[in-house]
Amino acid sequence: MKIICVASNYSEHAKELKSEIPAEPVFFMKPDSALLQGNKPFYLPEFSKDLQHEVELVYRINRLGKHIEEKFANRYYNDVALGIDFTARDLQKICKEKGRPWEICKAFDQSAPLSSFIKMEKLQNKDSIKFELYKNGTLVQQGSSADMIFHIDKIIEHVSKYLTLKIGDLIFTGTPPGVGQVAIGDRLTGKLEGETMFDFEVK
């Protein structure tokens, strides 16, 4: 199982990080050891002084595929979840400046908290899935899949040019604005269409 993450997929977030809006989806990967499920606590790593949350919609691949055309991509997923792409922003800044790969700032253990999944057919509007992140009960991020620069189908087309997608692979689709630092004692609660999807503590 692999975890594919799209960078800069909401223009308002790209602006807050002063990132360029890419012409095609930019992606990176996390290993399966990054997963954190079942509302288990996230342990703040000692190597970062600026560990930030990025709440993201996550799609799960349910068919094997390569070179998938955008118009057929919706046959390759049927479940959506909410996740966090934890990012060591201070290390990411160094990686960007020095042109280094992103593993140390994005792919570390527990960097991908993930909720349980909802079937697509249970959602009222598949093209406008609304989600929110609360920190200690205060709304800090909110987004809608309608605001993604690249729709999930376009992402699948692009990624599958390079990688074979396998059953169980996860695609994190980028974060809306409002990313921010987490600290020990924080509680992070994610909601999708008003329903609580995850609720865990930073330790």
Q: Find the shortest distance in angstroms from Cβ 71 to Zn ion.
A: 26
Can you tell me the distance from the alpha carbon of 162 to that of 65, in angstroms, rounded to the nearest whole number?
11
Number of residues that bind Zn ion (CB under 5 A): 3
**Stretch near Zn ion under the rule CB under 5 A, chosen from 12-20, 52-60, 107-115, 125-133:** 52-60
| CB closer to Zn ion, 65 vs 156 | 156
Among 36, 81, 85, 114, binds Zn ion (CB under 5 A): 85
Q: Find the shortest distance in angstroms from Cβ 67 to Zn ion.
A: 25
What would the two tokens of residue 182 be? 């987490």
Can you tell me the distance from the alpha carbon of 164 to that of 192, in angstroms, rounded to the nearest whole number?
29
Q: Find the shortest distance in angstroms from Cβ 59 to Zn ion.
A: 14
C-beta of residue 42 within 8 angstroms of C-beta of residue 110: yes
Tell whether residue 175 is a contact of Zn ion (CB under 5 A): yes
Q: Could you tell me where the DSSP H helices lie in 85-165?
A: 89-98, 103-106, 152-162
Q: Find the shortest distance in angstroms from Cβ 34 to Zn ion.
A: 12
| CB closer to Zn ion, 65 vs 92 | 92
**Stretch near Zn ion under the rule CB under 5 A, chosen from 11-19, 34-42, 78-86, 144-152:** 78-86
What would the two tokens of residue 198 be? 């995850």
**Stretch near Zn ion under the rule CB under 5 A, chosen from 92-100, 118-126, 157-165, 173-181:** 173-181
Nearest CA to 202 out of 59, 93, 91, 48 is that of 48
Tell whether residue 54 is a contact of Zn ion (CB under 5 A): yes
C-beta of residue 107 within 8 angstroms of C-beta of residue 3: no
Strand-strand pairing, 35-36 and 112-113: parallel
Residue located via tokens 């966090």: 84
Q: Find the shortest distance in angstroms from Cβ 73 to Zn ion.
A: 20
Residues that bind Zn ion (CB under 5 A): 54, 85, 175
